[in-house]
Amino acid sequence: MAKKRYRISRKELEKERIREERMYKGSNNFLGRFLYIVFALLIVGIFAGGYFYFFIYSPAFVEKPVIEKPVIADEEEFEVTEEQVEYIANEAGGYKLRSHPVTKEKPVIEFFITNFRDTYTLTVDDHNLTAVEGSAINPDVRLSGTKEVFRQLLDSKDFEKDIRRLVRWRDIEVEILADKSILVMKGYKSLYDALEGDGEDIEEQQGAGQATGFFEVGSHAGISSLGFMATVNKLFLAGFMCLFIAAFALGYNMHEKHK
């Protein structure tokens, strides 16, 4: 018995071809839109991350206020004043601190003169520094040192190098009082950078410190409480780089497909 043959008309073949083309175009359109959305989100993430890093976490576009170096009295008559605290904080990058973007709380640093038990409160308002005598109500950070240490900073010919040396030798103690997330949002990385530096002068300081017996005891102890800033910075930069690479790869792939 002969097998029955089924014939498909040209009209039916054309309908099937059109249906398959529509399905293919539909899937391509969905994939294309999805890729565009992902690409747009990556670009937004890059810009948002850049804004957060350069304007909140580590402010880079802040003009330094002009605070004249106070006149220093003779060593026997020297007393720490509000003007001196403002000058030291300004030179240490305190002007880069900013109010919390959500709570609007201002950065507050307490300076404690250990051998005279004097306390000064420094407040940063719109990158302007104001110091008053007295204890802070709710400070973010406390910096402690003797009157002689403050005089060294005022006499310093290389402020950045000297303040890092004093911190590493624990002549200046750094005490974290606020939550770490608050410090991040108020831009305290600028203070960390000023106190820690890039480590280029560590060997020189190590030799001097060992000779005087300080370095072995207090190596980096004064800044260790702010050390989490370095970890946050590395994680942020790594994430930012991943976003950039992903956006570049996706953009290149989309460009090649549309050639």
pLDDT computed for residue 218 by the predictor: 33
Cα-Cα-Cα-Cα dihedral of 157, 158, 160, 165, to 10°?
-100
| % of the chain with per-residue pLDDT over 70 | 73
pLDDT-based confidence at residue 207 (cuts at 50, 70, 90): very low
What is each CA distance from 241 to 171, 196, 236, 246, in whole angstroms? 38, 24, 9, 9
pLDDT of 202 > 50? The answer is no
Q: What is the mean pLDDT of residues 224-239?
A: 73
What pLDDT, on the 0 to 100 scale, is given for residue 7? 59
Q: Quick one: which of 118, 8, 92 has its CA closest to 107?
A: 92
Q: How confident is the model at residue 38 (pLDDT cuts 50, 70, 90)?
A: confident
pLDDT in tens, 120-140: 999 999 999 999 999 999 999
Residue 4, pLDDT > 60, answer no
- The whole-angstrom separation of Cα 194 and Cα 160 is 7
Tens digit of each residue's pLDDT (9 = 90 or more) over 144-193: 999 999 999 999 999 999 999 998 888 999 898 999 889 999 999 888 88
Name the helix (H) or strand (E) containing 236. Answer: helix 228-257
240 vs 11, higher pLDDT = 240
Burial 169-183 (b: 16+ CB within 10 A, else e): bbbbbbebbbeeebb
C-alpha separations of 168 from 62, 161, 165, 231 in Å: 27, 11, 5, 19
CB burial string 19-37: b at 16+ within 10 A, e below = eeeeeeeeeeeeeeeeeee
Task: Say how many residues make up the chain.
Answer: 259
Give the angle subtended at the CA of 226 by the CAs of 225 and 231, to the nearest 5°: 115
Whether residue 224 is predicted with pLDDT greater than 70 in this model: the reply is no
- Tell me the pLDDT tens digit for each residue of 51-106: 888 888 888 889 999 999 988 877 777 889 999 999 999 999 999 999 999 999 99
Record the pTM: 0.71
Task: Dump pLDDT digits (tens) for 150-160.
Answer: 999 999 999 99
Q: Which of 241, 251, 257, 238 is nearest to 38 (CA)?
A: 251
pLDDT in tens, 27-37: 556 666 777 78
Tokens of 93: 């990058």
Distance CA(122)–CA(48), nearest Å, equals 31
Residue 18 has pLDDT above 90, yes or no: no
